[in-house]
Amino acid sequence: MYLDQLPDLSRARLVRARARGVAIRDGERAVAVAFVADGTLLPADTLVRFDVTQGEDPERRLADALATTAARGIWFYGGDEVTRRAAAALELVFRPVGAVFIRRMDAERTAQIGFRPPSQRDRLTLPDLQRDHAPAFRAPLIEVGEIGGESIGLTLSEALDPHWTELRAVVYPSHRGQGHASALLGAAADRIEKTGRRVCAAIETSAGRERSALESAGFRLADYYFVASR
């Protein structure tokens, strides 16, 4: 578990599920396993997971993993202290490539959005919307958000473990630029938190409108995803 008891979020799970494992050996002994990206979500010369046998030096074995796989770098969540320290010791260059946010416990509550299940008409576009905005979600709960009876967008949420739910919001094109993303995220997070769960979200950048919408909805930055490269 990472910072704030967070599990891997949906995109991270998909990245790692698609990776292939390569045993790192010292003679006849396996000392680590490096997982290499398949090239769909991250470049194929990127390690996306690095497991070291207890008692081994992570810095040395990460160097071995990079050499064995011919990878140019490693992708990891900032809360992964073993990988972070090993990459820093090898003087790899760190670059943020995404971020994870969690809903603040003191966030102001939102009560302006009404929610309803998708209608038959809504369902015609749901596969495209999920593919474009939440492709790593497996079976999300999808709800349409309304203001004054007018549909402004939808939210997608999915349980990651017994405690955490990941949340995303999509605003319909005709309603963008009016702060509705923050309203959708805040109202949906309120509903989830009332069930006793905590709420998290991820973006594939480190800044921009997505980050602003999350922060306006009461989320705070937990940590970044990094690529550390030679």
Q: What is the mean pLDDT of residues 48-68?
A: 96
How confident is the model at residue 99, as a pLDDT? 95
Name the pTM for this structure: 0.89
Mean pLDDT score across all residues of the chain: 92
Same domain, 67 and 136: no
Report helix, strand or coil for 192: helix
Nearest alpha-carbon partner for 188 in 150, 149, 223, 153: 153
- In the block, tokens 């709960």 appear at 141
How confident is the model at residue 210, as a pLDDT? 92
Residue 120, H or E segment: helix 120-123
What are the pLDDT digits (tens) for 165-196?
A: 999 999 998 888 888 999 999 999 999 999 99
Q: Count Cβ neighbours within 10 Å for each residue of 40-55 and write b for 16 or more, e otherwise.
A: ebbeeebbbbbebeee
Same domain, 107 and 130: yes
Domain boundary among 34, 69, 97: 97
What are the pLDDT digits (tens) for 138-161?
A: 999 999 999 988 999 999 999 999
What are the pLDDT digits (tens) for 82-130?
A: 999 999 999 999 999 999 999 998 887 766 899 999 999 888 888 888 8
Same domain, 55 and 126: no
Report d(CA 48, CA 11) in Å as an integer.
Answer: 12
Helices and strands of the chain, counted as H and E runs:
7, 11
Q: Residue 215 pLDDT > 50, yes or no?
A: yes
Number of domains in the chain: 2
Q: Residue 150: give its domain's CATH number.
A: 3.40.630.30
One-letter amino acid for residue 15 of the chain: V
How confident is the model at residue 123, as a pLDDT? 87
Q: Residue 33 pLDDT > 80, yes or no?
A: yes
Residues in the chain: 230
CA distances from 101 to 20, 57, 120, 167, 214 (A): 28, 31, 32, 10, 8
Nearest alpha-carbon partner for 101 in 194, 15, 182: 182
The residue among 62 and 121 whose pLDDT is bigger is 62
Nearest alpha-carbon partner for 73 in 31, 43, 38: 43
Same domain, 178 and 151: yes
For 32, the token pair is 């680590």
Report d(CA 61, CA 74) in Å as an integer.
Answer: 13
User: Could you tell me the residue range of the domain that residue 136 belongs to?
Assistant: 102-223
Q: Residue 70 pLDDT > 90, yes or no?
A: yes
Domain boundary among 71, 97, 123: 97
pLDDT more than 90, % of the chain: 77
**Cα Rg of the chain (Å, integer):** 20
Residue 200, judged by CB atoms within 10 A of its CB (0-12, 13-18, 19+), counts as buried
CA 178 to chain centre: 25
Domain boundary among 97, 112, 143: 97
Same domain, 59 and 146: no
How confident is the model at residue 1, as a pLDDT? 37
